[in-house]
Amino acid sequence: MNPAARLVRRGFTDPESAVRRLAEPDLAAHAGDSVLLDALAATADPDLALQSLARIAEACTPAERRTLLDTVTAAKPLRDRLLGVLGASAALGDHLARHPEDWHALVTFELHDIHPGPEEFLRTLYHHIWDAHPDLPRADALRTGYRRCLLGIAARDLTGTTQISQTAAELADLAGATLQAALDIAAEEDPDAAAACRLAVVAMGKCGGHELNYVSDVDVIFVGEPREPRPEGEHDDGTAVRAATRLAARMMRICSETTREGVIWPVDANLRPEGKNGPLVRTLASHLAYYQRWAKTWEFQALLKARPVAGDAELGRAYLDAVTPMVWQAAERENFVPDVQQMRRRVVDAIPAAEVERELKLGPGGLRDVEFSVQLLQLVHGRTDVTLRSATTLDALAALSAGGYVGRADAAALDSAYRFLRAMEHRIQLYQLRRTHLVPTGEDDLRRLGRSLGMRADPVQELRQEWRRHAREVRRLHEKLFYRPLLDSVARLDAVEAGLTRALEGQEAAEAAAGSGAALSVASAQARLAALGYREPADSLRHLRALAGGVSRRAALQRTLLPVMLGWFADSADPDAGLLNFRKVSDSLGSTPWYLRLLRDEGAAAESLARILSSGRLAPDLLLRAPEAVALLGDRDGLLPRDRQALEREIDSAAGRAADAPAAVAAARSVRRRELFRTAAADVLGRLGDSPAEAVEVSGTALTAITTATITGALRACAEALEARTGEPLPTRIAVIGMGRYGGGELGYGSDADVMVVHDPVPGADESKAANAARQVFEEVRRLLQLPSTEPPLLIDADLRPEGRQGPLVRTLASYAAYYRRWSRTWESQALLRAAPIAGDPDLGAAFVELVDPLRYPAAGVSDTELREIRRIKARVETERLPRGADPTTHTKLGPGGLADVEWTVQLLQLQHGHRVPGLRTTRTRQALAAAVEAGLMAPDRASALDAAWVQATLVRNAVMLVRGRAGDSFPGDSHELAGVARYLGYGEGHAGVMVDDYRRRARQARMVVEELFYSG
pLDDT digits (tens, 9 = 90+) for 168-225: 999 999 999 999 999 999 999 999 999 999 999 999 999 999 999 999 999 999 999 9
Render pLDDT for 214-229 as a digit per residue (tens, 0 to 9). Answer: 999 999 999 999 987 7
42 neighbors 49 (Cβ within 8 angstroms): no
- pLDDT above 90 (res 279): yes
Note the pLDDT of residue 338. Answer: 59
Return the half-sphere exposure (C-beta side, CA atoms, 13 A cut-off) of residue 507: 8
pLDDT of amino acid 485: 54
SS3 per residue for 548-567: HCCCCHHHHHHHHHHHHHHH
Q: Residue type for 192, please?
A: D
Helix (H) or strand (E) holding 770: helix 767-785
Least confident of 392-406, 667-681, 835-849: 392-406
Give the confidence band of 329 by pLDDT, cuts at 50, 70, 90: confident
CA 706/CA 554 separation, integer angstroms = 36
C-alpha 615/C-alpha 622 separation (Å) is 12
**How far apart are the C-alpha atoms of 197 and 220, rounded to whole Å?**
18
Q: How confident is the model at residue 606 (pLDDT cuts 50, 70, 90)?
A: confident
Please tell me the distance from the alpha carbon of residue 7 to that of residue 14, in angstroms, as a whole number. 9
255 pLDDT higher than 80: yes
Cα–Cα distance measured from residue 713 to residue 166, given in angstroms and rounded to the nearest whole number: 69
Note the Cα 645 to chain centre separation in Å: 37
SS3 670: helix
> 72 versus 527: which is more confidently predicted?
72
Higher pLDDT, 485 or 329: 329
> Could you say which DSSP state residue 746 is in?
-
Examine the pLDDT at 110 and tell me if it is beyond 50.
no
Give 986: exposed, middle or buried? Use CB within 10 Å, 0-12, 13-18, 19+. Answer: exposed
Q: Read off the pLDDT of each residue in 555-573 and give the average, rounded to a whole number.
A: 76
Query: Is residue 383 over pLDDT 90?
Result: no
Cβ-based neighbours of 385, under 8 Å, separated by 6 or more: 403
Each residue's pLDDT tens digit, 734-751? 999 999 999 999 999 989
CB 935 within 8 A of CB 917: yes
Q: What does the radius of gyration of the chain's CA atoms come to, in whole angstroms?
A: 38
Contact 811, 758 (CB under 8 A): yes
In this structure, the chain runs to a length of 1017
Strand 796-797 and strand 753-761: pairing? parallel
What secondary structure does DSSP assign to 621-668, as a single string?
HHHHHSGGGGGGGGSTTTTSPPPHHHHHHHHHHHHHT-SSHHHHHHHH
DSSP string across 46-115: HHHHHHHHHHHHHHS-HHHHHHHHHHHHH-HHHHHHHHHHHHH-HHHHHHHHH-GGGGGHHHHHHHH-SS
- CB proximity list for 819: less than 8 A, separation 6 or greater: 802, 803, 811
State which amino acid sits at residue 128: H
State pLDDT tens for residues 684-722.
999 998 899 999 999 999 999 999 999 999 999 999 999
* Amino acid 77: pLDDT: 86
Cα–Cα distance, 123 to 142 (Å, whole number): 12
Q: At 783, which amino acid appears?
A: R
Pairing, β 732-738 against β 753-761: antiparallel
Measured N-to-C along each axis, helices 575-589 and 603-613 cross at an angle, to the nearest 10 degrees, of 120
How far is Cα 345 from Cα 354, in angstroms, rounded to an integer?
Answer: 18
What is the pLDDT, as a whole number, of residue 790?
A: 87
Mean pLDDT of the chain: 88
CA distances from 786 to 181, 700, 795 (A): 85, 21, 6
DSSP string, 851-887: HHHHHHS-TT---HHHHHHHHHHHHHHHHHSSPTT--
Q: What is the pLDDT of residues 487-514, one digit of tens each?
A: 444 434 332 222 223 333 333 333 333 3
Q: Quote the pLDDT of residue 569.
A: 87
- Rounded average pLDDT over 653-677: 93
pLDDT in tens, 940-962: 999 999 999 999 999 999 999 99
- pLDDT, average across residues 634-655: 90
> In angstroms, how far is CA 684 from the centroid of its own chain?
15
**221 phi and psi, to 5 degrees?**
-130, 140
CA neighbor of 78 nearest in space, from 93, 68, 90, 92: 68
Cα–Cα distance measured from residue 712 to residue 271, given in angstroms and rounded to the nearest whole number: 73
Which pLDDT belongs to residue 1017? 63
Between the CA atoms of 809, 814, 816 and 819, what dihedral angle is there, to the nearest 10 degrees? -120
Nearest to 671 by CA among 699, 638, 649: 649
Range in 328-337, 583-592, 899-908 with the lowest mean pLDDT: 328-337
Buried b (16+ CB within 10 A) or exposed e, 118-130: bebbbebbbebbe
More confident residue, 77 or 780: 780
What secondary structure letter does DSSP report for 262? B
Q: What is the percent of the chain where pLDDT is above 90? A: 62
DSSP H helical ranges for 127-163: 138-158
How far apart are alpha carbons 222 and 220 in whole angstroms? 7
Distance CA 783, CA 788 (A): 10
C-beta of residue 271 within 8 angstroms of C-beta of residue 302: yes
> pTM for the complete prediction?
0.57
| Cα dihedral 776, 778, 781, 783 sign | negative
**In DSSP terms, which residues pair with 307 in a beta bridge?**
203
| Rounded to 5°, angle at Cα 280 from 274 and 281 | 110
Looking at per-residue pLDDT, the higher value among 387 and 350 belongs to 387
How many CB atoms within 10 Å of residue 469? Answer: 13
Cα distances from 495 to residues 498, 550, 883, in angstroms, run 8, 9, 57
Across 813-960, where does the E strand assignment appear? 836-840
Is the pLDDT at 901 greater than 90? The verdict is yes
Strand 307-311, strand 267-268: pairing: unpaired
In a 3-state reduction of DSSP, which class is residue 227? coil
Strands 732-738 and 836-840: antiparallel
Query: For residue 82, is pLDDT > 60?
Result: yes
User: What gap in Å lies between CA 954 and CA 892, rounded to an integer?
Assistant: 8
Q: Give the count of beta carbons closer than 10 Å to the beta carbon of residue 554.
A: 15
Query: Distance of CA 914 to CAs 806, 860, 907, 931, Å?
Result: 31, 10, 9, 10
Going by DSSP bridges, is the β-strand pair 753-761/810-812 parallel, antiparallel, or unpaired?
Answer: parallel
Backbone phi, psi, residue 423, to 5°: -65, -40
CB atoms within 10 A of CB 1017: 15
Instruction: Please state the φ and ψ torsions of residue 526, each to the nearest 5 degrees.
Output: -65, -40
For residue 520, pLDDT beyond 70: no
CB 165 within 8 Å of CB 175? no
pLDDT, mean of residues 280-284: 96
Average pLDDT on 554-561 reads 70
List the one residue out of 612, 614, 616, 494 whose CA is nearest residue 545. 494
- CA 467 to chain CA centroid, Å, is 13
Could you give the C-alpha distances from 225 to 228, 231, 238, 242, 317, in angstroms and in order? 9, 14, 9, 10, 13
Give the CB-side neighbour count of residue 153, counting CA atoms within 13 A. 31
Residues contacting residue 325 through CB under 8 Å, at least 6 positions apart: none
The residue among 541 and 429 whose pLDDT is bigger is 429
Reported as a single tens digit per residue, the pLDDT across 770-827 is: 999 999 999 999 999 999 998 999 999 999 899 888 889 999 999 999 999 888 888 8
Contact 553, 477 (CB under 8 A): no
